[in-house]
Amino acid sequence: MSRHDLLVLSGRVDTLLDQIGDLEDAAAQERAEGLVRAVMDLYAAGLTRMVELAEDSPLLRAMADDELVGGLLLLHDLHPDDVDTRIQAALDRVRPYLGSHAGGIDYLGVDGEGVAHLTLQGSCNGCPSSSVTVTLSVETAVLEAAPEVTSVDVVGLVAAEPSPPLLQIELRPGLRSGRAATAEDRSVQWSPGDWEHLDVSPGPGELRTADVAGTPLVVAGCGDTAYAYLDRCPSCQGSLAGARLVAEVLSCPSCESRYDIRRAGSSVDGSGKHLTPLPLLPDEVGWKVAAPTGAPV
Protein backbone atom coordinates (compact mmCIF):
# COMPACT_ATOMS: atom_id res chain seq x y z
CA MET A 1 0.00 0.00 0.00
CA SER A 2 1.45 3.38 -1.02
CA ARG A 3 1.12 6.65 0.90
CA HIS A 4 -1.42 7.76 -1.70
CA ASP A 5 -3.49 4.62 -1.04
CA LEU A 6 -3.24 5.32 2.67
CA LEU A 7 -4.56 8.84 2.22
CA VAL A 8 -7.42 7.51 0.09
CA LEU A 9 -8.27 4.98 2.80
CA SER A 10 -8.13 7.73 5.42
CA GLY A 11 -10.56 9.75 3.33
CA ARG A 12 -12.89 6.75 3.18
CA VAL A 13 -12.81 6.54 6.99
CA ASP A 14 -13.83 10.20 7.17
CA THR A 15 -16.68 9.54 4.72
CA LEU A 16 -17.94 6.60 6.76
CA LEU A 17 -17.79 8.71 9.92
CA ASP A 18 -19.95 11.34 8.20
CA GLN A 19 -22.41 8.63 7.21
CA ILE A 20 -22.53 7.39 10.80
CA GLY A 21 -23.40 10.93 11.84
CA ASP A 22 -26.44 10.78 9.55
CA LEU A 23 -27.92 7.71 11.26
CA GLU A 24 -31.39 8.32 12.65
CA ASP A 25 -30.94 5.81 15.49
CA ALA A 26 -29.09 7.87 18.11
CA ALA A 27 -28.04 4.81 20.13
CA ALA A 28 -26.63 3.06 17.05
CA GLN A 29 -24.85 6.25 16.03
CA GLU A 30 -23.21 6.58 19.45
CA ARG A 31 -22.08 2.94 19.49
CA ALA A 32 -20.64 3.12 15.95
CA GLU A 33 -18.75 6.33 16.69
CA GLY A 34 -17.47 4.87 19.94
CA LEU A 35 -16.23 1.76 18.12
CA VAL A 36 -14.35 3.81 15.53
CA ARG A 37 -12.78 6.03 18.20
CA ALA A 38 -11.71 3.01 20.24
CA VAL A 39 -10.06 1.35 17.23
CA MET A 40 -8.28 4.57 16.22
CA ASP A 41 -7.12 5.18 19.80
CA LEU A 42 -5.80 1.61 20.00
CA TYR A 43 -3.73 1.95 16.85
CA ALA A 44 -2.53 5.41 17.86
CA ALA A 45 -1.40 4.10 21.24
CA GLY A 46 0.43 1.22 19.57
CA LEU A 47 2.18 3.51 17.09
CA THR A 48 3.11 5.94 19.87
CA ARG A 49 4.72 3.12 21.85
CA MET A 50 6.59 1.90 18.76
CA VAL A 51 8.03 5.38 18.21
CA GLU A 52 9.07 5.58 21.86
CA LEU A 53 10.83 2.20 21.68
CA ALA A 54 12.59 3.11 18.44
CA GLU A 55 13.63 6.61 19.53
CA ASP A 56 17.23 7.55 18.63
CA SER A 57 17.67 4.31 16.69
CA PRO A 58 18.04 3.56 12.95
CA LEU A 59 14.70 1.77 13.13
CA LEU A 60 12.80 5.02 13.69
CA ARG A 61 14.45 6.56 10.62
CA ALA A 62 13.56 3.47 8.57
CA MET A 63 9.96 3.67 9.79
CA ALA A 64 9.71 7.37 8.95
CA ASP A 65 11.11 6.84 5.44
CA ASP A 66 8.84 3.88 4.68
CA GLU A 67 5.97 4.76 2.32
CA LEU A 68 3.26 3.10 4.41
CA VAL A 69 4.53 3.40 7.98
CA GLY A 70 5.71 6.96 7.44
CA GLY A 71 2.24 7.84 6.19
CA LEU A 72 0.65 6.36 9.30
CA LEU A 73 3.04 8.33 11.50
CA LEU A 74 2.00 11.49 9.68
CA LEU A 75 -1.70 10.75 10.15
CA HIS A 76 -1.18 10.33 13.89
CA ASP A 77 1.21 13.31 14.23
CA LEU A 78 4.07 11.01 15.25
CA HIS A 79 6.53 11.60 12.41
CA PRO A 80 9.99 12.53 13.76
CA ASP A 81 10.56 15.23 11.11
CA ASP A 82 8.82 18.59 11.26
CA VAL A 83 6.93 19.99 8.28
CA ASP A 84 9.85 22.12 7.04
CA THR A 85 12.25 19.19 7.06
CA ARG A 86 9.79 16.97 5.20
CA ILE A 87 9.06 19.57 2.53
CA GLN A 88 12.76 20.29 1.98
CA ALA A 89 13.43 16.55 1.59
CA ALA A 90 10.55 16.23 -0.90
CA LEU A 91 11.90 19.12 -2.97
CA ASP A 92 15.37 17.56 -2.94
CA ARG A 93 13.86 14.42 -4.47
CA VAL A 94 12.01 16.30 -7.20
CA ARG A 95 14.80 18.76 -8.14
CA PRO A 96 16.65 16.43 -10.55
CA TYR A 97 13.53 16.12 -12.70
CA LEU A 98 12.59 19.79 -12.58
CA GLY A 99 16.03 20.71 -13.85
CA SER A 100 14.75 20.14 -17.38
CA HIS A 101 11.95 22.68 -16.99
CA ALA A 102 12.93 25.28 -14.41
CA GLY A 103 15.78 26.43 -12.24
CA GLY A 104 16.11 26.36 -8.47
CA ILE A 105 13.33 26.02 -5.92
CA ASP A 106 13.27 28.27 -2.86
CA TYR A 107 11.06 27.07 -0.01
CA LEU A 108 9.73 30.05 1.93
CA GLY A 109 7.86 28.17 4.66
CA VAL A 110 4.26 27.41 5.70
CA ASP A 111 2.12 30.30 6.88
CA GLY A 112 -0.44 30.33 9.68
CA GLU A 113 -3.20 29.15 7.35
CA GLY A 114 -1.27 26.06 6.30
CA VAL A 115 -0.22 27.36 2.87
CA ALA A 116 3.26 26.31 1.71
CA HIS A 117 5.01 29.08 -0.24
CA LEU A 118 7.67 28.37 -2.87
CA THR A 119 9.49 30.44 -5.45
CA LEU A 120 10.84 28.94 -8.68
CA GLN A 121 13.86 30.45 -10.37
CA GLY A 122 14.24 29.84 -14.08
CA SER A 123 12.34 29.62 -17.33
CA CYS A 124 10.06 27.18 -19.07
CA ASN A 125 11.25 28.39 -22.46
CA GLY A 126 7.76 29.39 -23.59
CA CYS A 127 6.33 25.89 -23.12
CA PRO A 128 2.95 25.96 -21.32
CA SER A 129 2.91 22.21 -20.72
CA SER A 130 6.31 22.50 -19.07
CA SER A 131 4.85 25.10 -16.71
CA VAL A 132 2.12 22.64 -15.71
CA THR A 133 4.74 19.90 -15.29
CA VAL A 134 6.66 21.98 -12.80
CA THR A 135 3.70 23.22 -10.75
CA LEU A 136 1.94 19.85 -10.60
CA SER A 137 5.13 17.95 -9.73
CA VAL A 138 6.05 20.39 -6.97
CA GLU A 139 2.51 20.38 -5.57
CA THR A 140 2.37 16.59 -5.49
CA ALA A 141 5.75 16.25 -3.80
CA VAL A 142 4.87 18.80 -1.11
CA LEU A 143 1.37 17.51 -0.34
CA GLU A 144 2.53 13.88 -0.14
CA ALA A 145 5.32 14.82 2.27
CA ALA A 146 3.19 17.20 4.34
CA PRO A 147 -0.53 16.31 4.25
CA GLU A 148 -1.20 18.94 6.92
CA VAL A 149 -0.48 21.61 4.29
CA THR A 150 -3.77 23.03 2.96
CA SER A 151 -2.45 24.35 -0.35
CA VAL A 152 0.72 25.20 -2.27
CA ASP A 153 1.51 28.69 -3.53
CA VAL A 154 4.04 28.57 -6.39
CA VAL A 155 5.35 31.81 -7.83
CA GLY A 156 8.18 32.83 -10.13
CA LEU A 157 7.63 30.48 -13.08
CA VAL A 158 7.91 32.85 -16.04
CA ALA A 159 8.00 31.97 -19.72
CA ALA A 160 11.07 33.12 -21.63
CA GLU A 161 9.05 35.25 -24.07
CA PRO A 162 5.73 36.31 -22.54
CA SER A 163 2.76 36.17 -24.87
CA PRO A 164 -0.99 36.66 -24.36
CA PRO A 165 -2.63 33.88 -22.30
CA LEU A 166 -3.93 31.38 -24.84
CA LEU A 167 -4.13 28.21 -22.79
CA GLN A 168 -6.18 27.65 -19.68
CA ILE A 169 -4.78 24.74 -17.68
CA GLU A 170 -6.79 23.13 -14.90
CA LEU A 171 -4.65 22.47 -11.83
CA ARG A 172 -5.58 20.38 -8.83
CA PRO A 173 -7.67 22.15 -6.16
CA GLY A 174 -5.60 24.23 -3.79
CA LEU A 175 -2.74 25.00 -6.17
CA ARG A 176 -2.19 28.60 -7.14
CA SER A 177 0.34 29.40 -9.82
CA GLY A 178 2.10 32.73 -9.98
CA ARG A 179 1.42 33.22 -13.69
CA ALA A 180 -1.15 32.30 -16.34
CA ALA A 181 0.16 29.74 -18.83
CA THR A 182 0.92 30.80 -22.38
CA ALA A 183 1.13 28.89 -25.65
CA GLU A 184 2.78 29.22 -29.01
CA ASP A 185 0.69 26.43 -30.46
CA ARG A 186 -2.98 27.46 -30.24
CA SER A 187 -4.11 23.88 -30.92
CA VAL A 188 -2.83 22.57 -27.57
CA GLN A 189 -5.63 21.84 -25.12
CA TRP A 190 -4.33 19.80 -22.23
CA SER A 191 -4.90 19.44 -18.51
CA PRO A 192 -3.43 16.90 -16.07
CA GLY A 193 -5.53 14.23 -14.44
CA ASP A 194 -4.74 11.82 -11.61
CA TRP A 195 -1.31 10.31 -11.08
CA GLU A 196 -1.03 6.76 -12.41
CA HIS A 197 1.72 4.18 -12.20
CA LEU A 198 3.75 3.80 -15.39
CA ASP A 199 4.38 0.20 -16.42
CA VAL A 200 7.55 0.99 -18.38
CA SER A 201 10.90 2.05 -16.94
CA PRO A 202 13.45 2.90 -19.65
CA GLY A 203 17.15 2.66 -18.99
CA PRO A 204 19.64 5.34 -20.02
CA GLY A 205 19.35 6.06 -23.74
CA GLU A 206 16.21 3.94 -24.13
CA LEU A 207 12.86 5.07 -25.53
CA ARG A 208 9.70 3.20 -24.55
CA THR A 209 6.06 3.66 -25.54
CA ALA A 210 3.15 3.39 -23.10
CA ASP A 211 -0.59 3.95 -22.93
CA VAL A 212 -1.96 5.79 -19.90
CA ALA A 213 -5.69 6.42 -19.55
CA GLY A 214 -6.09 5.85 -23.29
CA THR A 215 -3.38 8.35 -24.23
CA PRO A 216 -0.19 7.13 -25.98
CA LEU A 217 3.06 8.35 -24.45
CA VAL A 218 6.77 8.01 -25.06
CA VAL A 219 9.14 7.74 -22.11
CA ALA A 220 12.83 8.50 -22.59
CA GLY A 221 15.57 7.41 -20.22
CA CYS A 222 18.41 9.85 -19.64
CA GLY A 223 21.03 9.20 -17.01
CA ASP A 224 19.34 8.16 -13.79
CA THR A 225 16.03 9.87 -14.61
CA ALA A 226 13.31 9.72 -17.26
CA TYR A 227 11.05 12.09 -19.19
CA ALA A 228 7.53 11.49 -20.49
CA TYR A 229 5.92 13.16 -23.51
CA LEU A 230 2.74 12.78 -25.49
CA ASP A 231 3.34 10.49 -28.46
CA ARG A 232 3.01 13.17 -31.12
CA CYS A 233 5.57 15.03 -33.18
CA PRO A 234 4.52 18.72 -33.25
CA SER A 235 6.08 19.15 -36.69
CA CYS A 236 4.43 16.33 -38.66
CA GLN A 237 1.77 15.18 -36.13
CA GLY A 238 3.10 11.62 -36.50
CA SER A 239 3.81 9.06 -33.80
CA LEU A 240 7.20 9.05 -32.09
CA ALA A 241 7.22 5.27 -31.76
CA GLY A 242 10.48 4.07 -33.28
CA ALA A 243 12.18 7.45 -32.82
CA ARG A 244 15.94 7.56 -32.37
CA LEU A 245 17.33 8.76 -29.06
CA VAL A 246 20.96 9.86 -29.22
CA ALA A 247 22.36 11.37 -26.03
CA GLU A 248 19.62 13.88 -25.10
CA VAL A 249 18.16 14.38 -28.58
CA LEU A 250 15.06 12.56 -29.85
CA SER A 251 14.57 12.37 -33.64
CA CYS A 252 11.09 11.86 -35.13
CA PRO A 253 11.01 8.67 -37.24
CA SER A 254 8.81 10.34 -39.89
CA CYS A 255 10.12 13.88 -40.44
CA GLU A 256 13.43 13.63 -38.53
CA SER A 257 12.67 16.76 -36.50
CA ARG A 258 14.82 16.78 -33.38
CA TYR A 259 13.92 17.65 -29.79
CA ASP A 260 15.92 18.03 -26.59
CA ILE A 261 14.32 15.76 -23.98
CA ARG A 262 16.11 17.50 -21.10
CA ARG A 263 14.84 20.94 -22.09
CA ALA A 264 11.11 20.22 -21.99
CA GLY A 265 11.18 18.75 -25.51
CA SER A 266 12.19 22.00 -27.20
CA SER A 267 13.29 21.88 -30.84
CA VAL A 268 17.03 21.82 -31.58
CA ASP A 269 16.41 22.69 -35.24
CA GLY A 270 15.29 26.28 -34.63
CA SER A 271 11.63 25.62 -35.51
CA GLY A 272 10.36 26.87 -32.14
CA LYS A 273 8.16 23.78 -31.73
CA HIS A 274 8.27 21.54 -28.70
CA LEU A 275 7.01 18.19 -27.51
CA THR A 276 4.28 18.13 -24.87
CA PRO A 277 5.82 16.97 -21.56
CA LEU A 278 3.88 15.19 -18.84
CA PRO A 279 4.67 15.39 -15.11
CA LEU A 280 6.70 12.30 -14.20
CA LEU A 281 7.93 11.45 -10.71
CA PRO A 282 9.41 8.34 -9.08
CA ASP A 283 7.09 6.16 -7.01
CA GLU A 284 7.72 3.17 -4.77
CA VAL A 285 8.21 0.72 -7.67
CA GLY A 286 9.23 2.86 -10.63
CA TRP A 287 7.57 5.95 -12.11
CA LYS A 288 4.19 7.64 -11.89
CA VAL A 289 2.78 10.01 -14.49
CA ALA A 290 0.02 12.63 -14.36
CA ALA A 291 -2.25 11.28 -17.07
CA PRO A 292 -3.82 13.92 -19.32
CA THR A 293 -7.59 14.36 -19.15
CA GLY A 294 -7.56 15.64 -22.71
CA ALA A 295 -5.04 15.21 -25.50
CA PRO A 296 -3.95 17.85 -28.00
CA VAL A 297 -6.21 18.24 -31.02
Q: How many Cα atoms occupy the beta-carbon half-sphere of 18 within 13 Å?
A: 6
Structure letter (DSSP) for residue 172: P
Q: What's the residue count for the chain?
A: 297
How far apart CA 138 and CA 234 sit, in angstroms, is: 26
Per cent of the chain over pLDDT 90 is 13
Question: What b/e readout covers 54-78, taking b as 16+ CB neighbours within 10 angstroms?
Answer: beeeeebeebbeebebbbbbbbbeb
81 vs 159 pLDDT, higher one: 81
Contacts for 296 with CB less than 8 Å, ≥ 6 apart: 185, 187, 188, 189, 190, 230, 232, 276
- Of 98 and 59, more confident: 59
Q: Are 86 and 109 in contact (CB under 8 A)?
A: no
pLDDT, tens digit, for every residue of 190-227? 444 467 888 888 888 899 999 887 889 999 988 778 88
Query: How far is the C-alpha of 174 from the C-alpha of 123, rounded, in Å?
Result: 23
Q: Where are the alpha helices (DSSP H) in 157-294?
A: none
Number of neighbouring beta carbons within 10 Å of residue 39: 11
Instruction: Output 58 or 187, whichever has higher pLDDT.
Output: 58
pLDDT band, very low/low/confident/very high, at 270 (cuts 50, 70, 90): confident
What mean pLDDT do residues 237-259 have?
92
Tell whether the model's pLDDT for residue 233 goes beyond 90. Answer: yes
Please determine, for residue 140, whether its predicted confidence score (pLDDT) is greater than 50. Answer: yes
Share of the chain above pLDDT 70, in %: 74
Instruction: List the one residue out of 296, 295, 95 whose CA is nearest residue 214.
Output: 295
pLDDT at 141 over 50: yes
Higher pLDDT, 236 or 103: 236
Task: Give the residue, 260 or 154, on which the prediction is more confident.
Answer: 260
